[in-house]
Homo-oligomer: A and B are copies of this chain.
Amino acid sequence: MVLYKIWGEKMKVRRSDRLIDMTRYLLENPHTLIPLTFFADRYESAKSSISEDLTIIKRTFKDRGTGVLETIPGASGGSRFLPYILKDEAIEVVDNLIEQMATPQRYLPGGYVYMSDLLGNPKILRQIGRIFATQYLNQEIDAIMTVSTKGVPIAQSVANYLNIPFVIVRHDIEITEGPTVNVNYVSGSSERISKMSLSKRSLKPKSKVLIVDDYMRGGGTIGGMASIVKEFDAELVGVAVVAESTVSKERSISNYTSLMRVDAKDNAVYAQNGNYLDKIYND
């Protein structure tokens, strides 16, 4: 009995160790197929034990709303972790964002809204990244595209969960970007012609591109990025923004996902749900 206990404890420790480290590894390598042999070698364990571990992790990830752990059987099989966020948790996240947005302190002259603090908060960025990564859980995307400066944190967070690169379109032309592709676009808010550019090296032709940004007003900037996608002979798979302003006139971009609809007038900021529930959780 004593021996059994010791053996039992030893086994327990082994499995615990594997479960903890496998969880960490899977979380840090989302959307990546990890062969069974990788874990078997790493822990000097039988593949059958690793399979059991994965079954346990899969169940816990599902029960706790962490994501899907796909398991691919066979010799070339393995597992792939696809992070998501469940509807209830997403609603909680966006409700919290809305509450933080709708304060008069954020009002800026001209109907602009201050939200740089939210876009510099790692926890909020992780949550936003998880929501957009949920929408594109099963879709092939090669790169995220955004425009400097405030779109960058959003792009990085989504890219982190989808484990794909992000590229940054710039309004200025920087020497460290090398040769660039440039487009002109009409800035919706001021009806003025502006220029944006992307390094020629940054995007392969035929890439499937998801455009993300922090704030969409008239949609001109997003439209500019869409024409850059075209110039690169790449394919636009979607547009995701944290906030869209409530505008009266029609936008050039009609298919997009937004977390919030924001209105700034008379020294106050109003915020409500964007279209994300329909776009992401419509089934």
Contacts and interface: CB of A to CB of B under 8 A. Distances in A.
A113 B176 contact: yes
Contact of A201 (B64, B114, B163): B114
Interface string A74-113: 0000000000000000000000000000000000111011
Contacts of A23: 19-20, 23-24
Interface string A189-230: 000000000010110000000000001000000000000000
A123 to B, nearest CB: 7
A152 interface: yes
A274 interface: no
Q: Which bucket holds chain A's interface residue count?
A: 35 or more
A45 interface: no
A160 interface: yes
A167 B120 contact: yes
Interface stretch (A8-16, A134-142, A249-257): A8-16
A248 interface: no
Interface string A52-72: 000011011101101000000
What 4 pairs across the A-B complex have the smallest Cβ distances? A148-B149, A20-B60, A23-B23, A152-B152
